[in-house]
Amino acid sequence: MLNNKKQNKFYKQWWFWGAIVGFGLAVYFILNINQLTSQKFEADREIHLYTRELGSGTRSAFTSVAHLTDENGDDILSPKATVQNSTSATIQAVESDLYGISYISLGSLNSSVKAVSIDEVEPTIENIQEGNYQLIRNFNVTYGQELSDVAEDFWKFMFSAQAQELVEEDGYVSVDTTAPKYEPSGLSGSISIVGSTSVEPTIQKFSEAYRKLNPDVTIDITAPGSGAGITSAIDGSADIGMTSREPDDYEAEQLIETAPIAVDGIVVIVNNNNPLENLEIQEIQGLYLEYIDTWDEILDN
């Protein structure tokens, strides 16, 4: 066992070296943060395209409104685009890539990336409401089998005044600003909801608000994507599907009802250190069809 004198010497040495290591780590992180936030943008560098996976409602809506489909309505995005399987992964990819560009839901936009204006119009709620912003899509819910009493009650809640207030709080456009107030039903049971990663955060908030009014109801929500949501609604493996794209003709024939709960903007995003402020629709097409390869081709316009 160490005597008091040796113990004191040991602790002094430990604190000394601990302080050195801690100081070194602090300097390392400060230098790296400064490096990340002060990267010099070189306009002649290649553009790095990011996109969502096939079946994503965000991708489907983006290709539709940006006219990136062929005569059959099929997606013709560049195969060089790096696929990201969620909204959060897309944001992280562009945040960490000085030369990256992609697209996300307006409601998911945060300060870690920069939103680009489209045809000189900023992606804002006001511009969507006034019809000035072009890249918009509906957040839809759908079902393909007869709803249980409790699922039907939750469906009713999604179009109520309380739910539509949550839509606006989330940064989306309400589909009905005069919706009636929902009155608690007192029902019990379980509801399964499957679908879009973009719609899921809003449905989660709906669920929390609904369950405060109806505590004997459980709601299970999973978000593998819009395609899975529509399929699950059709085959009955979920009560309700969430989709950020419109069902195609074949899907629509098998669904009983599809309705929008909110209107969303699709936002083109770049790294915060990218000087790009605006894109024309034609330039978006050029980017994702590979007519435009480097940043100076659009920054010089």
CATH code (residue 258): 3.40.190
Instruction: Report if residue 5 sits inside a domain.
Output: no
Q: Where are the beta strands (DSSP E) in 111-254?
A: 114-115, 117-118, 136-143, 173-174, 189-195, 217-222, 240-243
Contact 230, 201 (CB under 8 A): no
Give the residue, 32 or 91, on which the prediction is more confident. 91
DSSP 8-state secondary structure symbol assigned to residue 286: H
- pLDDT value of residue 57: 87
- Structural domain for 195, as ranges: 138-263
If you average pLDDT over every residue of the chain, what do you get? 90
Which pLDDT band holds residue 17 (cuts at 50, 70, 90)? low
Q: In this predicted model, what pLDDT tens digit does every residue of 87-103 receive, in sequence order?
A: 999 999 999 999 999 99
pLDDT at 105 over 60: yes
Q: Please check whether residues 83 and 160 belong to one and the same domain.
A: no
Give the residue, 36 or 93, on which the prediction is more confident. 93
Contact 94, 102 (CB under 8 A): yes
The CATH number that applies at residue 271 is 3.40.190.10
Q: Please check whether residues 111 and 176 belong to one and the same domain.
A: no
Q: Please check whether residues 130 and 272 belong to one and the same domain.
A: yes
pTM of this prediction? 0.74
Q: Please check whether residues 173 and 255 belong to one and the same domain.
A: yes
Q: Please check whether residues 185 and 252 belong to one and the same domain.
A: yes
Contact 277, 123 (CB under 8 A): no
- pLDDT value of residue 34: 47
Instruction: Report if residue 277 sits inside a domain.
Output: yes
pLDDT at 38 over 70: no
Number of structural domains the chain divides into: 2
Q: Please check whether residues 132 and 143 belong to one and the same domain.
A: no
Instruction: Report if residue 219 sits inside a domain.
Output: yes
Q: In this predicted model, what pLDDT tens digit does every residue of 269-291 receive, in sequence order?
A: 999 999 999 999 999 999 999 89
- pLDDT value of residue 73: 83
Q: What is the mean pLDDT of residues 128-153?
A: 96
Q: What CA–CA distance (Å, rounded) separates 199 from 217?
A: 21
Q: Please check whether residues 105 and 184 belong to one and the same domain.
A: no
**Cα torsion for 277, 282, 286, 291, to the nearest 10°?**
-120
